[in-house]
Amino acid sequence: MKKTVSLFWFRRDLRLHDNHGLYEALKHNMDVLPIFIFDSSILDSLPKNDARVEFIHEQLTTIDNSLKKHGSGLSVYHGTPENIIEQLTIEYDVKTVHYNRDYEPYALSRDQIISDLLSTKLIEFKSFKDQVIFEQNEITKDDGLPYKVYTPFSKKWLAAFNADHCSAFKSEELLRNTYKSDSFPWEDLKSMGFEPNPVKIAPYKVESSIIKNYEATRNFPAVDGTSKLGPHLRFGTVSVREIVSKAIQHSNNTFLKELIWREFFMQILWHFPHTVTKSFKPQYDAIKWRNDPEEYKKWCDGNTGYPLVDAGMRELNQTGFMHNRVRMLVGSFLCKHLLIDWRLGEAYFAEKLHDFELSSNVSNWQWVAGCGVDAAPYFRIFNPTTQVTNFDKEHTYIKKWVPEYQELTYPTPMVDHKFARERCLSTYKEALGKN
């Protein structure tokens, strides 16, 4: 006789505490079987030493160990979600599948397939809001249309927000309701074709000093003033409600506004999914990109001859992280100095960044290229030399990542700034019909 269970499907919420969907599943006193699926359609395109896969696996191990204290465990699978969940409905008498919502185009498509599958079996597929404070259509203009500019969005967000939005869901107090067994399916890295990466994802820091001084320190890459929250929000190892609760304790709301930017970009992607591959402002798709492969490689490798650009790219390649101020510079350099399509830069960041978040990555790349929502104007072209003067005056960050920058072996700038600027303006004007 098949065991009657409710499933909780972990996805971008890899924690047992303050987990909305998990809480809703557990509170009904039915045996809840926690599962995670390493989606082969995602994993197949990743490097075999991807640090993010290893990080996810480590978090799953932590969850499993915690569940074992309750006589339970985590079932971990590798395959397509449709096939895995289909198999689970055969193995168990599944009454409900609970999950937390995801807003990326692939996730929406995947979840619709699962919904259709479960509906044929009369199984409820229940979703919950967990990774944001406000989602989809909760923050819109008075006419119900989505905001396309950050500032009015943030004002509406702040006006709608109150402390109740940060109330925790005490899922960790209900773990006794998880399914009990001596054995649960498990996949290790090797069985999925992956191997460990010596570079690890850094723990996050949200001490009061970080939040308090964020406005003053966030633009200086040599200062250890960033939270490293990105991967943890991406994979849900920390609750966004917890982080916002900490942010609102400070009168300086610069840190909070960065969290609001995250939600702004998420709602843009949800409302305008075409922006993954096309410019938000369609006229910018007429730009005649040079896309020189040799120049692209120099940029990827951090050998442009501009020390701050090179420092950023080398930091990314070696650590999976890049300071946000430097991200803007290297992005602008690729698109405007080299006239290389922002989509190539976005793809490179998607592969390398530990904190890769599709909505933020796409929106920020379109920002530097001038083609997105709330974008920098096309004629805003960062000067890689003055950026050093403004943000790394003592060359501390440069010395760390480009120690040879003052030596004869260091390459000369691959393109003259003045020439590149004029070429960029001419190219953009031609595409936009401004000549």
Instruction: Write out pLDDT tens, residues 72-112.
Output: 999 999 999 999 999 999 999 999 999 999 999 999 999 99
- What architecture does CATH give domain 275-432? Orthogonal Bundle (1.10)
* Residue pointed to by tokens 């020189």: 292
Residue 352 has pLDDT above 70, yes or no: yes
- In this prediction the pTM is 0.95
User: Looking at the DSSP assignment, which residues form a beta bridge with residue 39?
Assistant: 79
Q: What is the pLDDT of residue 215?
A: 84
Report residue 359 as tokens: 């909505």
Listed by start position, the domains of the chain span: 1-129, 131-169+202-271, 275-432
Q: Whose CA is closest to 210, among 197, 229, 196, 192?
A: 229
What are the helix (H) ranges across 180-250?
Answer: 208-212, 214-217, 230-235, 240-247
At 150 the pLDDT is 96
Q: What is the pLDDT of residue 251?
A: 85
Cβ proximity of 14 and 237 under 8 Å: yes
Taking only the tens place, the pLDDT of each residue in 8-54 is 999 999 999 999 999 999 999 789 999 999 999 999 999 999 999 99
pLDDT at 5: 97
Tokens of 348: 């490179």
Fold of 131-169+202-271: 1.25.40
The fourth-level CATH superfamily of domain 1-129 is HUPs (3.40.50.620)
Q: How far apart are CA 68 and CA 358, in angstroms?
A: 34
**Could you tell me which residues come within 8 angstroms of residue 163 by beta carbon, excluding any fewer than 6 positions away?**
245, 248
CA angle 352, 228, 264 (to 5 degrees): 85
- Closest CA relative to residue 3, chosen from 129, 123, 181, 145: 181
Can you give the pLDDT at residue 225? 80
Residue 259 pLDDT more than 90? yes
- Give the containing element (helix H, strand E) for 347: helix 342-352
The whole-number pLDDT of residue 435 equals: 65
What is the structure's pLDDT at 200? 92
Question: How far is residue 405's CA from residue 150's CA, in Å, rounded to a whole number?
Answer: 38
Instruction: Note the pLDDT of residue 6.
Output: 97
